[in-house]
């Protein structure tokens, strides 16, 4: 039961003023994403783009945010824009990226919050395991599509763009070690797409491991004076993510959440610490709450390094089939 009680999280420092800043957040219509959006607007962000699968729900959230008394009083001219972003479909990711480039001159901060955790293998229209595509490949595709645009914006403003990706501590315990090892000659993504490789209660963590491995591969190829790229885990937060569980498991998890989970406000502080407060020292790093963490034992192992190298090569090859690769990917 070590670390069962999560440490207290302090609020963001006072004095943060996002006037003039344009922020994109994915999965912004519920849970952590909606809370982070609310906090951004209360910090006077000039434009916040809600990237959501369900546009009608996103518009309802935007209306609610506009009626938030604090936002009405302190940021009444904020632009809240809702754009469709369905991570089940690569074409939707690319259409979102194109619309963003066409309609928004500069994005200062990109927060990759959207994600899912399923207990059975479902397939996307692209044929991939849905948990893996939503949590990993679609985020990578968005980064691939937006990276030159983010770099160009940083060159105009003289300040680095920020990419902050919501990860999970669950990546530290992977099925790749014992329950479902990647065989010699087997691709990482190929493995994730196999029915027999699906370990229900570790698939979410495994997909988040791919995210961390990608960050560790891409960050050294980026100039942190142009783009600061980090990842964080906000810990257990009291959101509706457990709603996908069967009723008997949901009841158990909800009891644990009642004792252990952080309020969404505290989870939002952790995400925004990575996006707004953490400096260039956080580039290419994973933050546990607000503290930079060492790479997991698996990632540091020979098997982990081999997996990271294979995943990078496979991912770049897939992205190359979908779009023009940025120079940093070559």
Among 172, 181, 178, 188, smallest CA distance to 233 is for 172
CA gap 267, 273 in Å, rounded: 10
Is residue 149 among the annotated active site residues?
A: no
Of the residues 204, 216, 285, 290, only one is catalytic, namely: 204
Is residue 208 among the annotated active site residues?
A: yes
Of the residues 21, 136, 208, 216, only one is catalytic, namely: 208
Q: Which residues of 191-215 are buried (b: 16+ CB within 10 A; e: fewer)?
A: bbbeeebbeeebbbbbbbbbbbbbb
CA gap 203, 209 in Å, rounded: 10
Pairing status of strand 22-26 against strand 47-52: parallel
Among 224, 323, 328, smallest CA distance to 279 is for 224
Token pair listed for 76 = 């009444």
CA gap 167, 171 in Å, rounded: 8
Token pair listed for 20 = 């003039």
Among 251, 242, 260, 236, smallest CA distance to 119 is for 242
Among 292, 258, 287, 293, smallest CA distance to 271 is for 287
The residues assigned a catalytic role are: 204, 208
């Amino acid at each position: 039961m070590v670390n069962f009680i999560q440490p207290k999280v302090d609020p963001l420092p006072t004095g943060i003023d996002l006037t003039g800043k344009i922020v994109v957040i994915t999965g912004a219509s519920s849970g952590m994403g909606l809370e982070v959006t609310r906090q951004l607007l209360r910090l006077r962000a000039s434009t916040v783009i809600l990237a959501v699968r369900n546009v009608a729900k996103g518009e309802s959230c935007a209306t609610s945010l506009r009626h938030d008394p604090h936002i009405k009083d302190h940021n009444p001219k904020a632009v809240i824009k809702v754009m469709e972003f369905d991570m089940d479909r690569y074409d939707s990711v690319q259409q979102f990226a194109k619309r963003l480039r066409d309609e928004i001159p500069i994005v200062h901060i990109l927060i990759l919050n959207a994600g899912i955790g399923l207990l059975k293998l479902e397939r996307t229209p692209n044929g991939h395991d849905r948990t893996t595509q939503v949590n990993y490949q679609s985020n990578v595709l968005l980064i691939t599509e937006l990276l030159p645009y983010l770099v160009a914006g940083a060159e105009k403003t003289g300040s680095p763009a920020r990419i902050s990706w919501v990860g999970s501590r669950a990546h530290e315990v992977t099925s790749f070690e014992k329950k479902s090892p990647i065989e010699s000659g087997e691709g990482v993504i190929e493995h994730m797409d196999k029915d027999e490789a699906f370990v229900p209660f570790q698939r979410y963590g495994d997909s988040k491991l791919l995210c961390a491995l990608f960050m560790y591969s891409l960050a050294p190829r980026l100039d942190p004076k142009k783009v600061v790229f980090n990842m964080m885990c906000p810990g257990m937060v009291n959101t509706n993510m457990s709603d996908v569980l069967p009723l008997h498991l949901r009841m158990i998890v909800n009891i644990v959440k009642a004792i252990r989970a952080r309020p969404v406000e505290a989870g939002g502080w952790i995400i925004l610490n990575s996006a707004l407060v953490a400096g260039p020292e956080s580039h290419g790093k994973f933050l546990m709450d607000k503290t930079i963490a060492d790479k997991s034992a698996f990632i540091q192992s020979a098997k982990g390094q081999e997996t990271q190298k294979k995943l990078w090569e496979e991912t770049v090859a897939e992205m190359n089939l979908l779009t023009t690769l940025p120079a940093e990917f070559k």
